[in-house]
Structure 1
Amino acid sequence: MTALIALTEAGARTARQLQKTLPDAVLYGRSARVTDLDQAFEDTGALIRDLFLQGTPIVGVCAAGILIRFVAPLLADKHAEPAVVALAEDGSSAVPLLGGHHGANRLAQQIAAALGGQAAITTAGDLRTGPALDDPPPGWMLGNPDRVKPVTAALLAGDPVALTVEAGDVSWLEPARFSASGVESVLVTDRVVKDGTDALVLHPPVLAVGIGAERGVPAEEGVEAVRRVLTENGLATASVAAAGSIDIKADEPAVLAAAQCLGLDPRFLTAADLEAQAPRLANPSDIVFKETGCHGVAEGAALALAGPDAELVVPKVRLGRVTVAIAKAKDRVDGQAGRTGGRLFVVGIGPGQLPWRTPEAVAALRNADDVVGYDLYLDLCADLIGGKEQHRSPLGDETGRALKALTLAAEGRTVALVCSGDPGIYALATLVFEQVEAAEDRAIRGVNVTVVPGISAFQAAAARLGAPMGHDFCLISLSDLLTPRDVIRRRLQAAAAGDFVIAFYNPQSLRRRTLLGEARGILLGERPDTTPVAIARNLGRPGEQVTVTTLAEFEPEAVDMLSLVVIGNSESRILDLPQGTRIYTPRGYAQKSETTQQIGKVQG
């Protein structure tokens, strides 16, 4: 994620234009001045400091001095600092302030190209020696970053630096800058190089790993097999740019884990894709063809992923129930063959208002290919999903939404399934995993599901009320559409006997009119008439209303499905303040303080 920080409406317009080029970027806007934003903030300094300490790249659409003042006290290790770029409001200039060799120079150039401005690159190495050695193109990895400084110093001084190329396309290095020999040297290789070498080692993305596995092989066997084959052949993990298998293995733990241990999303190819590689296989098998429709899974996958000019550098190796093969591309592996296993983000957008969206939720929605959700929920995040394929459905079609999202993800797409509140609290995350468990389609079972948390209704209500959940609490849904009424009553009795603070979800509808009244009666038998009760309606949305009363005076008829009901425990208190009525539940700190004082007096 990249953070775009706008202090004015003009800056926000420029940032929105930039988001077309940086789809993972989140726009933070000054709440008092900016309306079109992803995340609101009030304290500019606090936001910049927090993002910087989290290692988030920052593009401030503001004066460079603003960024400098706020990050200056935090500067410590230039190798660990994120990119910080100052961007003029009109997009005319992008100035990398920090992290030039860690993405800032490249980011500034990307911004300038997108907005038609200029990138003010001041890094001596970039200006005098061409591309920075410690900021190679995507996919390339540094083997020993500590050797960057002496090699760059030699290039700056005009001293001869040797370049040895064993793999990959090195045109970005501008080979003419180097010599056949020199005091310093650069080695471009896909091999493992022993520690202590004097050369700067660069690993190009030229290797592709093909994996086959029997049904049900544990994840750790796949990981061990891939690591062992790479190690025994002296090949660098850093040069592996793709890993995958045949599509019928999309749910195999060994295959998934083996790719993920390399830091890669696995890619899956059809039997036809793999059979197209048959003339190039070292070990074609009629038995494999009979079972899968192709003459080789591991070798075929490695060659297909590495590209048409690739060659097998490690023919199929069988280790237990896992097979591994490795192919090497002439220039680079682009990693786009086949399809990914697909990703599904089950996204909680909270009650819907902008300040209560998390940056993770915003990024998930912006990065999705497809967005699935109930009409109202998609309308609440319309600013983030414009131009995306939207799959809308009415209230009540929860199962259909979950299955639609999984089906799209199983096709290799990145999908966001939108929920209000938190996806794991009376929402769709549970239903998604139920569908995965029941699925016979291996592609669905192989979907990478990520649950993105959101602010749930009870958290929003607690914040509005003060601190009602200051001690032990529980959540109970009063909907008997999916839970038998006897089960709900048992849980109500247990919560009342345990003296829990309670938040009631789905408290009442046009048809369900009795359980909330029963709950009130049960609780009146266990706690005082003066117990605080709050009805929170439309939290975080237009028409928000919070009403505070007591258990004795609480009237269930005033509650509807847009409400959440919070009932305190026997210790909860109502506090009338100038700014409004609050509820809080003591946690025993006062009693602890009194006990400590008494002990002190005794000891004294």
Structure 2
Amino acid sequence: MDASPAVLVLTPAAEETARRIAKAMPGATLHGLAHRVPGLDVAFAETLSHIRALYQAGTPIVGVCASGILIRALAAVIEDKRQEPPVLAVSEDGASVVPLLGGHRGANSLARQIAEVLEGHAAVTTAGDTALGVALDAPPAGWWLANLEDAKGVMARLLAGEPVRLEGDAPWLSRARLPVADEADLTIAVTETRRAGGSGTLVYHPRRLALGVGCARGCPAEELITLVRDTLADANVAEGAVALVATLDLKADEPAVHALAETLGVPVRVFPAARLEEERPRLANPSEVVFAEVGCHGVSEGAALAAAGPDGALLVEKRKSANATVAVARAADPLSPTGIGRARGRLSVIGIGPGRDDWRTPQASRLLAEADEVVGYSLYLDLVAPLIQGKSRHSFPLGAEEERVRFALERAGEGRSVALVSSGDAGIYAMGALVYELLDRAVGEGGVSDAARRIEVVNAPGISALQAVSALIGAPLGHDFCTISLSDLLTPWEAIEQRLEAAARGDFVIAFYNPVSKRRRTQLAAAREILLAHRPADTPVVLGVNLGRPGESVRVTTLEALTVDEVDMLTTVLVGSSASRAVMTGAGTPFVYTPRGYAKRIEEKL
């Protein structure tokens, strides 16, 4: 379990127990139901949606509540048990601690830890843990089960009383309560060599091999993968024994390297040339040519040795293909990649939607939870506070957009996983375009560093304001539409006027972003006059304010009645086309829609 848990408190009676749990777990945060238990680290209004958001973000959940609440919240989103975070239910008096999900991902051990603190009982029900003291289908970090598909059958036979023969040494297996015998039909083999498992044989590989690689720019991925696989096969070592792929930081963005790592299911870690040069005394094949080109005497051998550590040694010296090199080093113990070199670095450009938890995509929640650091405008960071507790937050004011994006890119360039947060969709009038603009600029023209250019950029789409207001009022975007920002801070007003004229003549439904501000009071009125010259005065206009946040309101007016004073920077304005209609329902609430022409098709058929 890597992430810190969220301890949920739904009633005042549960608060004391929750505080005892959080105090015993560094980094844990207290999440309280706002109208019942105020004043905790994080407040939430809707229990089920909050639980789902935490789960989908990969956050461990300790609910001091009835287990049924957690089950009802998560029933529809439970998927792969190998990926789910721990979820535990704790009775309000602390007497019972029940791991519900993620037993093999830390829930069982967390339950025992909490039960010890509360002097309660950990109701662990996972068969392997209770009877054998080990979950054979979930080996500890640093170990790989080569034939996971056979684990369930072997576990069943062990639980039925069959003995097992151990081949090789693994401390975590030695400590288990396995029925070990010298003669048995079942076998557990521990080896780094290539070995086939089966219905009666489980094969575990200690992940203590470091794979060092180098390649020419643009090396075909298949060439590097083939070279590596042939090298491992010739050395009779299993791919599952490889802990990581290591290389020079100049290759951090090389597609072939990442394709190789994805094929092997391991991370990429990179080193600067100066660190690889420290391995020169241990290199089997130092090269002056390589030194002249990149600043170290060996990339593949140097990276393998640097990753394996001072007690490691080369298992396979450098081997070459036309465009790639590979070397393999063996460490004394299984390797933990997160403490080796640095990662490539990733910038997740995240649109969180208007602000409601259930309007944020699972991908956005997951990327927020995975990030080391979070960058954004303070208001937007507050909207996702439950998902970023304990992370480094970097707030920038409005007007400092370029500084904000540059900072995020450079932090990612140092090997961090950084989340850049925008409201709505980050690619619509937000930070997405600026990310790519800075990556496109030359260094001397205000661009970012070479290290920042080698990062991975991931975009998580969000619900934009125009989609939110449209959904709340009906379907005004049901036919052709466009969006126009009325802010002339970055775009000359003359250009905005041209776009307004074109959109008016084209009879588009128009979504206005940045309609007014404290200093800009004339643009919306001017836009209204341009549109009135091309469409009816009773054209529906929808005003959405504080969408997805407290104080949300959506109302309908007309183009003729629209005034600047009823609009602010938190308002999204949708102006209908000449075909858009506003209809009052029998319940006294309006809806707005723009027909696509289905009625005409029906008339033609008749």
Give the match for residue 396 of structure 1.
Answer: 399
Rounded Cα–Cα distance in structure 2 between residues aligned with 1:47 and 1:380: 12
1:481 maps to amino acid: L
After superposition, where does 1:326-405 map in structure 2 within 5 Å?
Answer: 326-335=328-337, 336-352=339-355, 356-358=359-361, 360-381=363-384, 385=388, 388-405=391-408
Q: Does 1:454 align with 2:455?
A: no
| 2:203 corresponds to which of 201, 204, 219 | 201
1:141 maps to what in 2?
144
**Worse-superposed segment, 581-590 or 410-419:** 581-590
Establish whether residue 267 from structure 1 lines up as the match of residue 269 from structure 2: yes
Instruction: Name 2:414's counterpart in structure 1.
Output: 411
Alignment partner of 1:179: what SS? coil
Q: 1:246 deviation in Å? A: 1.6
Q: After superposition, what is the alpha-carbon deviation per residue over 1:43-82, rounded to whole angstroms, capped at 9, x for unaligned?
A: x5x9989999999987554334556688899999999998
Q: Structure 1 residues 457 and 304 mapped into 2: Cα distance closer, same or farther (>3 Å)?
A: same
Q: Distance in 1 between matches of 2:76 and 2:363?
A: 27
Residue aligning to 1:467? 475
Aligned partners of 2:457, 2:29: CA distance in 1, in Å?
A: 22
SS of 1:340 mapped into structure 2: coil
- Structure 1 position 185, deviation (Å): 0.4
Offset from partner CA, 1:553-583 (integer Å, 9 cap, x none): 2234543333221111223222334766433
Alignment of 1:188 onto 2:190: yes
Q: 1:290: which partner in 2?
A: 292
* C-alpha contact 1:265 1:341 (8 A) present in aligned 2: no
The aligned amino acid for 1:467 is: A
What residue is the counterpart of 1:551 in the other structure? 559
**Counterpart among 246, 251, 254 of residue 253 in structure 2:** 251
Q: SS where residue 351 of structure 1 aligns?
A: coil
Equivalence map 1:67-106=2 (5 Å): 85-97=88-100, 100-101=103-104, 104-106=107-109
- Of 485, 490, 495, the match for 1:482: 490
Q: Is the 8 A contact 1:161 1:186 kept in 2?
A: yes
Q: Which residue of 2 aligns with 1:174?
A: 175
8 Å contact kept, 2:478–2:596: no
Distance in 1, matches of 2:285 and 2:22, equals 48
1:570 maps to: 578
Is contact 2:89-2:98 (8 Å) kept?
yes
Matching residue's letter, 1:182: A
Q: Is the 8 A contact 1:422 1:454 kept in 2?
A: yes
C-alpha contact (below 8 Å) 1:26/1:39 kept by paired residues: no
Aligned equivalents of 1:345 and 1:529: distance in 2? Answer: 44
Is the 2:58–2:366 contact (alpha carbons within 8 Å) kept by the matching residues of 1? no
Q: Once the two structures are aligned, what percentage of the paired residues are identical?
A: 51
Distance 1:111 1:316, change over 3 A: farther
Q: Return the offset for 1:19.
A: 7.5
Q: 1:547 to 1:111 in 2, by over 3 A?
A: same
The 8 Å contact of residues 84 and 99 in structure 1, kept in 2 or not, is answered as yes
Give me the CA root mean square deviation: 4.2
TM-score (norm 1): 0.83
286 and 391 in structure 1: CA distance in 2 versus 1, 3 angstrom threshold: same
Matched residue, 1:241: 243
Measure the CA separation in 2 of the matches of 1:73 and 1:545. 30
Distance 1:69 1:293 in 2: 58
Alpha-carbon distance between aligned partners in 2 of 1:283 and 1:489, rounded to the nearest angstrom: 67
1:164 aligns with 2:167: yes
Deviation digits for residues 240-260 of structure 1, max 9, x if unmatched? 221121223223333333334
Does the 8 Å CA contact 1:103/1:135 hold for their aligned counterparts?
no
Picking from 126, 131, 134, the partner of 1:128 is 131
Asked if structure 1 preserves the Cα contact closer than 8 Å seen for 2:486 and 2:523, the reply is yes
- Could you state the TM-score of these two structures normalised by the residue count of structure 2? 0.83
2:321 corresponds to: 319
Distance (Å, rounded) in 2 between the aligned partners of 1:226 and 1:594:
63
Give, as a single letter, the amino acid of the residue that structure 2 aligns with 1:410.
G
CA distance in 1 between counterparts of 2:133 and 2:70 reads 27
- Is the counterpart of residue 532 in structure 1 residue 540 in structure 2? yes
Task: Say which SS state the counterpart of residue 591 (structure 1) adopts.
Answer: helix
Contact 1:348 1:455 in 2 (8 A): yes
Q: Is the 8 A contact 1:536 1:546 kept in 2?
A: yes
What's the offset of the Cα at 1:298?
Answer: 0.8
- Measured after TM superposition, the shift of residue 344 of structure 1 is 2.2
Q: Distance in 1 between matches of 2:418 and 2:80?
A: 37
CA distance in 1, matches of 2:17, 2:540: 49
* Correspondence 1:517 to 2:525: yes
Other structure's SS at 2:264 match: coil
The aligned counterpart of 1:277 is 279
- Alignment partners' CA distance in 2, 1:426 and 1:507: 13
Q: Secondary structure at the match of 2:195?
A: coil
Query: Per the alignment, do residues 18 and 361 of structure 1 end up closer, same or farther by CA in structure 2, a change over 3 Å counting?
Result: farther
Q: Does the 8 A contact of 1:23 with 1:366 survive in 2?
A: no
Paired AA for residue 267 in structure 1: R
Give the superposition deviation at 1:295.
Answer: 2.0
State the distance in 2 between where 1:457 and 1:29 align: 28
Matched length: 594
Equivalent of 2:593 in 563, 585, 597 = 585
Of 445, 451, 463, the residue aligned with 1:443 is 451
Change in Cα spacing, 1:592 to 1:173, as seen in structure 2 (3 Å) is farther
**Structure 1 residues 115 and 215, CA, compared in 2 at 3 Å: closer, same or farther?**
farther
Distance of aligned partners of 1:562 and 1:467 in 2 relative to their CA distance in 1, 3 Å threshold:
same
- 8 Å CA contact 2:410, 2:448 repeated in 1: no
Change (3 A) 1:28 1:260: farther
Task: Please state whether the residue corresponding to 1:339 is helix, strand or coil.
Answer: coil
CA–CA separation in structure 2 for the residues paired with 1:179 and 1:265: 37
Q: Deviations over 1:497-543 (max 9, x none)?
A: 44332211112335545443343234334432221012333334455
Which residue type is aligned with residue 461 of structure 1?
V
**What does residue 602 of structure 1 align with?**
none
Equivalent residue number for residue 501 of structure 1: 509
Contact 1:470–1:584 (CA<8 Å) still a contact in 2? no
Q: CA distance change for structure 1 residues 301 and 194 in 2, over 3 Å: closer, same or farther?
A: same
Amino acid across the alignment from 1:174: R
Amino acid in the other structure paired with 2:541: V
1:169–1:331 Cα contact (<8 Å) kept: no
